[in-house]
């Protein structure tokens, strides 16, 4: 089966607890039972009543649910597209139906991102091969050291916290080759909070007199878990006033203790507001400018650089240059 890009999400504690249980559970392939109406894995079997209304013992028609198994995995990346081909075997007799998922893990085993690959259906005692295509940004893929493949029950997303995986987890390198056997079970991903991040070394610049503004700053993850999000620059007319403008500036995804220098363009709705602005505030959070201003997330406030102002029209800029030039009869040394 071949499918297109799918949505993605973040893995939380219960998901990885389920993976830990599945990791420790072995299973042996058995021959399929006699043909009967398919039962989805995770759905309780129901007793069958024949045409003569004689009730048959449920034990004689019960379907055996066993974890699905991944094999023959091939992972290839071109640009932002990641192609994942894999075979799923169903050693039980109950039909396996749900979603295939892939977690990206950093060198410390922290989850970077959970990617939804696509829906899967595998009849009991059989196997099937699937091919999925997903998009993963360079920011996340460049930090990925291993990936974890698993499946979730039907109608439960990859980041579901209410159900456990329905397959044995398979840990691989991003190339698709087997990962080291002694790697620890991935830790659950924690929510990024404002206090997890620090911003510093901030520089705001303008290219000449044009409407081209940029910011350069450093953000550090001071927590004990991964932190991701974006920076937000808000502009004010003075202290204790509401923001006049705001701009999302730079994205990051950092391991514990890691930092990165970001450079990005500043985009205001009205560039003329630069002449009104006296104070700037930069903060980093999971949703950037999508987060409200809170005392728990003060960020870093600083005065607007004196040389940064509203853009000057080209003709006006030429006039200013002529005014600044020395008179024709004046000699300078």
CATH number reported for the structural domain that contains residue 283 in this entry: 2.60.40.10
Domain total in the chain: 2
Q: Is residue 55 part of a domain?
A: yes
Do 123 and 245 sit in the same domain of this protein? no
Do 198 and 297 sit in the same domain of this protein? yes
What confidence score (pLDDT) does residue 318 get? 53
Task: Give the range with max mean pLDDT: 29-33, 147-151, 323-327.
Answer: 147-151
Q: pLDDT tens for residues 117-133? A: 999 999 999 999 999 99
Indicate the length of the chain as a whole number: 333
Tokens linked to 257: 């203790």
Do 6 and 119 sit in the same domain of this protein? yes
The CATH number for 90's domain is 2.60.40
What confidence score (pLDDT) does residue 324 get? 53
pLDDT for 23 beyond 90: no
Q: What is the mean pLDDT of the chain?
A: 81
Q: Is residue 326 part of a domain?
A: no
Residue position matching structure tokens 């505030």: 281
pLDDT for 158 beyond 70: yes
Q: pLDDT tens for residues 283-298? A: 999 999 998 877 777 7
What confidence score (pLDDT) does residue 111 get? 92
What confidence score (pLDDT) does residue 44 get? 41
Q: Is residue 331 part of a domain?
A: no
pLDDT for 168 beyond 80: yes
Q: pLDDT tens for residues 235-247? A: 999 988 899 999 9
User: C-alpha angle with apex 95: 86 to 3, nearest 5 degrees?
Assistant: 35
pLDDT for 206 beyond 60: yes
What confidence score (pLDDT) does residue 194 get? 85
Give whole-number Cα distances, 203 to 66, 107, 127, 262, 310, in Å.
Answer: 57, 31, 57, 11, 17
pLDDT for 228 beyond 80: yes
Residue 7 half-sphere exposure toward CB, CA atoms < 13 A:
5
Pick from 161, 158, 156: which is nearest to 169 by CA? Answer: 158
**Rounded mean pLDDT of 86-99?**
96
pLDDT for 22 beyond 60: no
Alpha carbon distance 32, 90 (integer Å): 10
Q: Is residue 27 part of a domain?
A: yes
Do 13 and 116 sit in the same domain of this protein? yes
Alpha carbon distance 154, 144 (integer Å): 27
What confidence score (pLDDT) does residue 28 get? 39
Determine whether 294 is exposed, middle or buried from the number of CB atoms within 10 Å of its CB (0-12, 13-18, 19+): exposed
Q: Is residue 333 part of a domain?
A: no
Q: pLDDT tens for residues 178-199? A: 998 878 777 777 889 888 999 9
> 61 falls in which pLDDT band (50, 70, 90)?
low
Q: Is residue 258 part of a domain?
A: yes
Q: Is residue 323 part of a domain?
A: no
Question: Which range of residues forms the domain containing residue 215?
Answer: 194-315
Alpha carbon distance 209, 14 (integer Å): 54
Do 236 and 129 sit in the same domain of this protein? no
Determine whether 87 is exposed, middle or buried from the number of CB atoms within 10 Å of its CB (0-12, 13-18, 19+): middle
Do 124 and 202 sit in the same domain of this protein? no
Give whole-number Cα distances, 176 to 71, 74, 108, 109, 183, in Å.
Answer: 11, 5, 19, 17, 16
Q: Which are the contacts of 243, defined by CB distance < 8 A and separation ≥ 6?
A: 234, 235, 236, 281, 293
**Rounded mean pLDDT of 248-256?**
96
Q: Phi and psi (nearest 5°) for 4?
A: -90, -165
Q: Is residue 185 part of a domain?
A: no
pLDDT for 314 beyond 50: yes
What confidence score (pLDDT) does residue 3 get? 57
Do 156 and 211 sit in the same domain of this protein? no
pLDDT for 56 beyond 60: no
What confidence score (pLDDT) does residue 19 get? 52
Alpha carbon distance 164, 303 (integer Å): 51
Alpha carbon distance 113, 10 (integer Å): 6
Radius of gyration of the chain (CA): 28
| DSSP sequence for 148-192 | EEEEEETT--TT-SSS--SB--EEE-TTSSBPPTTPPPPPPPPPP
Alpha carbon distance 137, 142 (integer Å): 8
DSSP 68: B
Do 89 and 42 sit in the same domain of this protein? yes
Determine whether 269 is exposed, middle or buried from the number of CB atoms within 10 Å of its CB (0-12, 13-18, 19+): exposed
Do 301 and 161 sit in the same domain of this protein? no
Terminal Cα-to-Cα distance of the chain (whole angstroms): 78
């Amino acid at each position: 089966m071949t499918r297109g890009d799918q949505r993605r999400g973040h893995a939380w504690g219960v998901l990885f607890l389920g993976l830990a249980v599945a990791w420790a559970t072995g299973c042996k392939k058995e021959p399929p039972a006699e043909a009967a109406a398919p039962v989805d894995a995770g759905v309780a079997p129901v007793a069958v009543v024949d045409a003569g209304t004689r009730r048959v013992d449920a034990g004689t028609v019960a379907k055996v649910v066993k974890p699905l198994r991944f094999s023959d995995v091939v992972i290839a990346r071109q640009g932002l597209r990641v192609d994942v081909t894999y075979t799923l075997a169903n050693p039980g007799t109950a039909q396996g139906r749900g979603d295939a998922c892939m977690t990206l893990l950093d060198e410390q085993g922290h989850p970077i991102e959970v990617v939804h690959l696509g829906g899967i259906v595998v009849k009991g005692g059989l196997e099937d091969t699937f091919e999925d295509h997903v998009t993963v940004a360079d920011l996340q893929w460049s930090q990925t050291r291993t990936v974890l493949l698993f499946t979730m029950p039907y109608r439960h997303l990859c980041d579901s916290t209410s159900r456990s995986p329905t397959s044995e987890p398979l840990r691989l390198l991003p190339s698709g080759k087997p990962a080291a056997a002694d790697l620890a079970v991935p830790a659950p991903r924690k929510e990024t909070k404002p206090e997890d991040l620090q911003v510093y070394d901030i520089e705001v610049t303008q290219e000449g007199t044009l409407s081209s503004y940029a910011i350069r700053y450093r953000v550090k993850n001071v927590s004990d878990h991964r932190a991701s999000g974006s920076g937000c620059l808000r502009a004010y007319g003075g202290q204790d006033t509401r923001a006049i403008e705001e701009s999302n500036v730079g994205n990051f995804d950092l391991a514990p203790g890691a930092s990165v220098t970001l450079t990005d363009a500043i985009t205001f709705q009205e560039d003329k507001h630069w002449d009104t602005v006296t104070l700037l505030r930069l903060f980093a959070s999971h949703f950037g400018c999508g987060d409200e201003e809170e005392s728990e997330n003060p960020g870093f406030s600083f005065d607007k650089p004196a040389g940064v102002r509203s853009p000057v029209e080209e003709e006006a800029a030429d006039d200013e240059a002529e005014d600044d030039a020395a008179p024709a009869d004046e000699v300078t040394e």
